[in-house]
């Protein structure tokens, strides 16, 4: 797919701050994160690449907020490809003093499954990106909860026939060779190299699943 798109398409990327990256302050609306890096790489490969990139990340979102804006930010846009990355805020709220805003694993699964069911009616290609935490301690409680959400994303990718972009192994490998601060100074929000790593993994997964 990424190697050969023969007609104009619209690709929508939805999620939280890791997708948002200041896209509303960006005159072009892409933000300064992995969405821009994916777009730039594809344009370098093919300057006439016929894809409209739409960033619909909103900082702070959990699946609850995604559900509230799904109609306007996904359904109404009629994407040919939909990339969803959500989950770290669902966990983080339990650790940053707002437990009432946290989303437990069961609600996370049910809400995300419902949204993906709605997306499947659009007959768009689905790409599911797992949440991650740049934390070397694998016994860390927040990391454990994030990994639970990542497993749910993997299960839903199988259920809906979506491309799965698994980010925790990629960040773990990067941290093993350097330091966590190089990739996400606060464990959650990627640095410039961190966003480039996400873009690399996204493109690798989508290209591997490309039937062409």
Place of tokens 């994160």: 33
Query: Can you point out the beta strands (E) in 30-155?
Result: 51-57, 81-85, 125-129
Question: How many CB atoms lie under 10 A from the CB of residue 97?
Answer: 7
Rg of the chain, C-alpha, whole Å: 16
Q: Which of 16, 17, 20, 90 is catalytic?
A: 17
Q: Which of 26, 137, 158, 186 is catalytic?
A: 186
In degrees and rounded to multiples of 5, residue 153 shows phi and psi of -60, -40
Q: Which of 73, 144, 189, 191 is catalytic?
A: 189
Q: Is 17 a catalytic residue?
A: yes
- C-alpha count within 13 angstroms, C-beta hemisphere, residue 155: 12
Length of the chain: 212
Q: Which residues are known catalytic residues?
A: 17, 186, 189
């Amino acid at each position: 797919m990424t190697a050969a798109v023969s007609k104009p398409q619209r690709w929508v990327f939805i999620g939280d701050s890791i997708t948002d990256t200041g896209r509303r302050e960006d005159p072009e609306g892409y933000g300064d994160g992995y969405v821009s890096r994916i777009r730039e790489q594809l344009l370098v490969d093919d300057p006439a690449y016929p894809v409209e990139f739409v960033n619909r990340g909103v900082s702070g979102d959990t699946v609850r907020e995604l559900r509230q804006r799904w109609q306007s930010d996904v359904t109404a846009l009629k994407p040919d490809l939909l990339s969803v990355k959500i989950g770290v805020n669902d966990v983080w709220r339990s650790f940053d003093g707002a437990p009432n805003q946290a989303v437990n694993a069961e609600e996370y699964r049910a809400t995300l499954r419902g949204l993906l069911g709605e997306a499947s009616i659009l007959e768009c290609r689905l790409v599911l990106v797992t949440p991650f935490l740049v934390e070397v301690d694998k016994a860390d409680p927040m990391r454990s909860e994030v990994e639970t959400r990542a497993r749910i994303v993997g299960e839903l990718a199988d259920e809906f026939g979506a491309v799965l972009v698994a980010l925790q192994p990629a960040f773990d490998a990067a941290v093993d060779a350097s330091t966590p601060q190089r990739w996400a100074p606060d464990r959650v929000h990627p640095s410039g190299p961190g966003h480039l790593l996400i873009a690399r993994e996204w493109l690798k997964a989508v290209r591997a699943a490309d039937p062409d």
